[in-house]
Amino acid sequence: MLRDITIGQYFPGHSFIHKMDPRMKIIASVLYIVILFVASRPLGLLLGILMVVMMYMISKISAKMVAKSLKPVVPIIIFTAVLNLFFMTGPSEPLVSFGFIHIYPEGVAMAVMMAVRIMCLIAGTSLLTYTTSPIELTDAIEVLMGPLKKVKVPVHEIAMMMTIALRFIPTLIEETDKIMNAQKARGADMETGSLTQRAKALIPILIPLFVSAFRRADELALAMECRCYRGSVGRTRMKQLEYAKRDFVALAVMLLCLALVIVINIYFPKMI
């Protein structure tokens, strides 16, 4: 069923990570990505794995969710791993030679590292959306993008659009479900037929869906105007974002790990 799809997969909780300031969570996520790509030694990547495991344990998000977030990127992981496996060359003798294909030990190492890196990347950044509500997230993005206002980027408007879009995803999914059922009850057949037939079968769903989306947009715009919404100028917030001690602790840990990874890179020149 359509309603089983989760988007903006937020899992409410009260862990250390849930309570962190969303701005710091974004910064920490960026730092984590930097760590993953700076780490060019297996030991450094091991630290990356350790970090993501620790973060999931702290946030009390189940391991099942990790698997769920990794599922859609499996083809990408396999693709990059295979690419690295075949095209990486090294000074040592190839392990296998098969016609024009040569597999070097460096290629194997690189393939494994790349796969691990992508998996950590997805799992780590997914944690951001698992532990932060979409509203908090857009708030944080608005603040972090604040400096762009100086170059006339409509930061507030972008953030507001994101918030509204996120807010309406479940509503529209429900609506689609309803319309699909209604058309099915009128004998619409969406499961069989050729590709063009199936594309045509979507018309009775898409048109009412668009009509209702526009209607909702219109109503929302009116409701916002009735409450004197005038854009960002002079607008204050009910929930002020404030950094707490835990945010600086998290930042310190992240920076420490980054430093460690750099140290590992320098002191272990060989692939260990």
Stretch that binds another protein, among 71-79, 136-144, 186-194, 260-268 (CB under 8 A): 186-194
Contact flag: residue 64 with another protein (CB under 8 A): no
Contact flag: residue 234 with another protein (CB under 8 A): no
Residues 3-22 that bind another protein (CB under 8 A): 4
Q: Tell me which of 75, 187, 234, 269 binds another protein, using CB under 8 A.
A: 187
Contact flag: residue 204 with another protein (CB under 8 A): yes
Q: Which amino acid is at 245?
A: K
Residue 197 CB, nearest approach to another protein (Å)? 12
Q: What is the dihedral of CA 156, 161, 167, 173, to 10 degrees?
A: -170
Would you tell me how many other CB atoms lie within 10 Å of the CB of residue 195? 7
Answer yes or no: are the C-beta atoms of 82 and 111 closer than 8 Å: yes
Residue 4 CB, nearest approach to another protein (Å)? 8
Q: Tell me which of 34, 82, 148, 211 binds another protein, using CB under 8 A.
A: 211
| Alpha helices (runs of H) in the chain, residue ranges in sequence order | 16-19, 22-38, 42-59, 63-70, 74-87, 105-131, 134-144, 155-185, 195-201, 203-226, 245-267
Cβ closest to another protein, residue 105 vs residue 204: 204
Cβ closest to another protein, residue 133 vs residue 176: 176
Q: Tell me which of 208, 258, 265, 271 binds another protein, using CB under 8 A.
A: 208
Contact flag: residue 46 with another protein (CB under 8 A): no
Contacts of 260 (CB under 8 A, 6+ apart): 44, 47
Contacts of 243 (CB under 8 A, 6+ apart): 21, 23, 24
Q: How far apart are CA 256 and CA 247, in angstroms?
A: 14
CA 67 to chain CA mean position, Å: 14
Stretch that binds another protein, among 41-49, 65-73, 92-100, 200-208 (CB under 8 A): 200-208
Contact flag: residue 65 with another protein (CB under 8 A): no
Pairing verdict, β 101-103 and 96-98: antiparallel
Residue 175 CB, nearest approach to another protein (Å)? 8
Residue 69 CB, nearest approach to another protein (Å)? 17
Q: How far apart are CA 259 and CA 272, in angstroms?
A: 18
Contact flag: residue 217 with another protein (CB under 8 A): no
Provide the mask over 126-165, with x wherever binding to another protein is found by CB under 8 A and - wherever it is not: ----------------------------------------
Provide the mask over 166-185, with x wherever binding to another protein is found by CB under 8 A and - wherever it is not: ------------xx-xxxxx
Nearest CA-CA partner of 125 in 21, 64, 51: 51
Residue 147 three-state SS? helix
Point out which residues bind another protein (CB under 8 A).
4, 178-179, 181-189, 203-204, 207-208, 211-212
